[in-house]
Amino acid sequence: MMKVSVNREKCQGHNRCYMICPQVYKVDADTYAYIEEEDVPEALRDQVRRGAEVCPEKAITLIE
């Protein structure tokens, strides 16, 4: 099981997470990230981890 969340107060809208895994990291009209579905399917977990690693604001939390 993996769950992902984005702290919208930390997010600065760099979109790096989105560029790595747009299936999970969504971007609103102001370019800030949000999560539509917090349960991450197994096939996307590596991508989601990489997206979290490249976030310069450490705004992404993973629960595994």
Q: Which of residues 3-62 bind ligand SF4 (CB under 6 A)?
A: 6, 11-17, 25, 33, 55, 57, 59-60
Q: Would strands 33-35 and 25-27 be described as parallel, antiparallel, or unpaired?
A: antiparallel
Nearest-approach distance from CB 42 to ligand SF4, in angstroms: 22
Around Cβ 6, how many Cβ atoms within 10 Å? Answer: 23
Residue 17 carries which side chain, given as an amino acid letter?
A: C
Which residues share a beta bridge with 63? Answer: 3
Nearest-approach distance from CB 7 to ligand SF4, in angstroms: 8
Residue numbers at the binding site for ligand SF4 (CB under 6 A): 6, 11-17, 25, 33, 55, 57, 59-60
